[in-house]
A and B are shown apart, each in its own frame.
Chain A
Amino acid sequence: MPLKRKDILSIDALSCEEIDLILQTAESFKEVSTRDIKKVPALRGKTIINLFFEPSTRTRTSFELAGKRLSADVINISAASSSAVKNETILDTARNIEAMHSDFIVVRHSASGVPQLLAGVLRSAVINAGDGAHQHPSQGLLDLMTIKEKKGEIKGLKVVIVGDILHSRVARSDIQGLVKYGAEVCVVGPPTLIPSGIERWGVKVSLHMDEALVGADIIIVLRLQLERQSRGFFPTLREYAMLYGLNQNRLNLADPEVLVMHPGPINRGIELSSEIADGLSSVILDQVTNGLAVRMALFFLLSEGSQH
């Protein structure tokens, strides 16, 4: 069964059936990466353009490897953070790329809504690799995959998401996916970094980490963008770490089988202590491995869909 859609723009748009299909497909692709010859011919002759308007190593590499392991041709384009810098509009940039007959355009941009803008005018499949504070659907999918893999079932799990929810596309994608599957989600962070009306998404909001962590099955720690301090969202990194940093004492409040996740890259000693990042509860590297498999699945399923 293929995915009957042209683009992957948000988790919200996907049904549970579609997510199940993506995760099952990803599971079967995991094996490919463990072979001696890590390549299958599924996307031979297809062209993938990674169009990254924001610096990224992990996500871009993951999409690049995913394409290459499926035998697609992959080109990486790192554009300036705003197309206006080059005085070319983003639509012109994208149309120029498509004129070279791309099949997939993977786009990351600091402005929310750019993948939608491109998907509306391009024939290529558009995969959102992170747009502003809006969505990061492949991250949401790989987090669901990691949780399912380790816990079996998502329904009923107590998930705590900690940090800068306001500016986080990962939080938005994770919340939508987790709520779809019936998890009990609580977001915790300083109120200056909690977006207005997030309760409407079916999550609880807590300002106190110790209270939120009691009995947690999953803790998703978000990366703190260090420049937020200069905007005054919190006084100092030290104080942030004091109130919302995950350390061993706090981890002890959670369920003994708790999983600690982080989308990376980690600010060690700020949002997450090293002992936890490297400890037994951490599944951070499993997330990275699953990310590759999820992105292979997305390329594969969208490509199948386009042939039907």
Chain B
Amino acid sequence: MSDKILIKGGRIIDPSHKRDEVADLLIEAGVISGISPSIAQPEGTFRTIDARGLLVVPGLIDLHTHLRVPGFEYKETIASATAAAASGGFTTVCCMPNTNPVNDNQAVTELILERAAAEGLVHVLPVGAITKGSQGKELAEMAELVSAGCVAVSDDGLPVMNSEIMRLAMTYATIFDIPVIDHCEDLNLTADGVIFEGKVSTDLGLRGIPSSSETVMVARDIELAELTGARVHLAHISTAGSVQLIREAKKRGISVTAETCPHYFTLTDEALRGYDSNAKMKPPLASSKDMEAILAGLADGTIEVIATDHAPHASEEKEQELDCAPFGIIGLETALPLSLKLVETGVLSLSDVIEKLTSGPAKVIGQKIGRLGIGDRADITLIDPDVEWTVKASDMKSLSKNSPFIGWTMKGRASTVIVSGKVLEGLYDGGKLR
């Protein structure tokens, strides 16, 4: 087995270097050692990958994954989640802290990283909790979390309702220059809502979650970002009101970044018509007006990151009354083709899509990844942009199959994934990834 890999003739798209050209790329000892229109065969043994017709891009980064470890291994394990990530073209995932126990201390962070080293196929970057137990009361030990390897803090899923605590968290986070990621939801406005409040909730007789449940917290966080000067990242943005607020905040120079997820630019609350619990998540799928605003926000750069909010739940949890089924859908294995669709529909250029999946998220967490530079760690994804395939539950690597996209025909797929210079085998032959 050689540690030299020559990727020949692919279209290299690296938004961080504004590169978009057909060229060869050489990997030696796990790092990128050369990119040029034609690289001669290296000395000694090497492996060649014929990339003609393929896109060669930095390994995709997911800012928002629920690995479910520790505590919920029946939903997902690090092995299954990272296999799903690799299969979807991701070489790095950031895992949210709403585990059991909550990742609010060094011991849990270390446990996640140890397991990731043992069984993970891609890089795992933990996100620590903002408050102890994500209870929203006392700050977690942020210095300890950062030194253990956390790249951001968030009380995702259990958002900090107390604005003073959030202010303190943001202020304190400036010591470490890490982003505070907020799941923007006013839990009081959400109350016992299960889907977006609008015509579909009225027709189906389901309790609604008003769009203001998200927007009032987006507005709060923007104000607090301005007050504290912290780097604030707003997770899974879903409504028109939020996009407008973020756009204006950026004009005012406030350090706020935003992500959305493929389901928010692909689906609306109409997907709930059949009471499909695989279309139930938080924030809820909103109206077509909101979806249009998300697309516009992606197009004008208001939203710089596409993340998955990959949230596995077991089938017995999802196959329940819609009121009882847990919120969340998986997304690692469908995010890339759904994002590539934005090129076809003219919303984004190919380079923009890749940016929102690579250097966009890398910038948010301040990591030197998501780029193809000489000397960079060789995390690379090869994409076949034209292959058509059908999403099948039986083919999915994730332990849970709670996706509203099962049965959909997709175009484009990761064909080869290289993590730290190692080519993962068996990406989508239905077998086990190695």
Contact = CB atoms under 8 A, between A and B. Distances in A.
Given A113-B321, A116-B274, A117-B275, A197 B205 contact: no
A113 B324 contact: no
A160 to B, nearest CB: 19
A195 interface: yes
B202 A89 contact: no
A141 interface: no
Interface string A96-111: 0000000000000111
A45 to B, nearest CB: 32
B284 to A, nearest CB: 13
A135 interface: yes
B202 A195 contact: yes
B206 A133 contact: yes
Contacts of A135: 205
A140 to B, nearest CB: 13
A109 to B, nearest CB: 7
B316 to A, nearest CB: 6
A54 B53 CA distance: 60
**Chain B binding surface SS class:** loop
Given A89-B319, A195-B201, A111 B274 contact: no
A82 B204 contact: no
Contacts of B324: 82, 84, 111
A201 B203 CA distance: 9
Nearest to A171: B205
A133 B198 CA distance: 14
Given A89-B316, A196-B208, A110 B323 contact: yes
B197 interface: yes
B321 A169 contact: no
B323 A111 contact: yes
Contacts of B322: 111-113
A197 B198 contact: yes
A132 B275 contact: no
A90 interface: yes
B202 A197 contact: yes
A90 B317 CA distance: 11
Interface string A220-233: 00000000000100
A198 interface: yes
A196 B191 CA distance: 16
Contacts of B208: 195-196
Interface string B303-329: 000000000000010011111100000
B202 A132 contact: no
A135 B205 CA distance: 8
Nearest to B206: A112
Contacts of A91: 319
A37 to B, nearest CB: 40
Contacts of A295: none
A84 B205 contact: no
Max count, chain A CB within 10 A of own CB: residue among B191, B201, B204, B319:
B204
A134 interface: yes
Given A111-B322, A112-B275, A117-B275, A132 B206 contact: yes
Nearest to A168: B205
A126 interface: no
Contacts of B392: none
A206 interface: no
Interface in A19-51: none
Nearest to B315: A89
A92 to B, nearest CB: 9
B274 A90 contact: no
B319 A113 contact: no
B199 interface: yes
A198 B201 CA distance: 10
A83 interface: yes
A144 interface: no
Contact of B199 (A117, A169, A196, A231): A196
A68 interface: no
B205 A133 contact: yes
A201 B202 CA distance: 10
A90 B197 CA distance: 26
B298 to A, nearest CB: 27
Contact of A116 (B197, B207, B275, B320): B275
A84 B317 CA distance: 10
A200 B316 CA distance: 36
A216 interface: no
Contact of B201 (A82, A114, A196, A231): A196
A117 B277 CA distance: 10
A112 B321 CA distance: 8
Contacts of A114: 321
Interface string B190-218: 01000001110110111110000000000
Given A89-B316, A116-B275, A196-B197, A82 B202 contact: no
A134 B321 contact: no
Closest 4 CB pairs of A and B: A134-B205, A113-B275, A111-B321, A133-B205
19 contacts: A83-B321, A89-B319, A109-B321, A111-B323, A112-B204, A112-B205, A113-B321, A113-B322, A114-B321, A116-B274, A131-B205, A132-B206, A133-B205, A133-B207, A134-B204, A195-B201, A197-B198, A201-B202, A231-B191
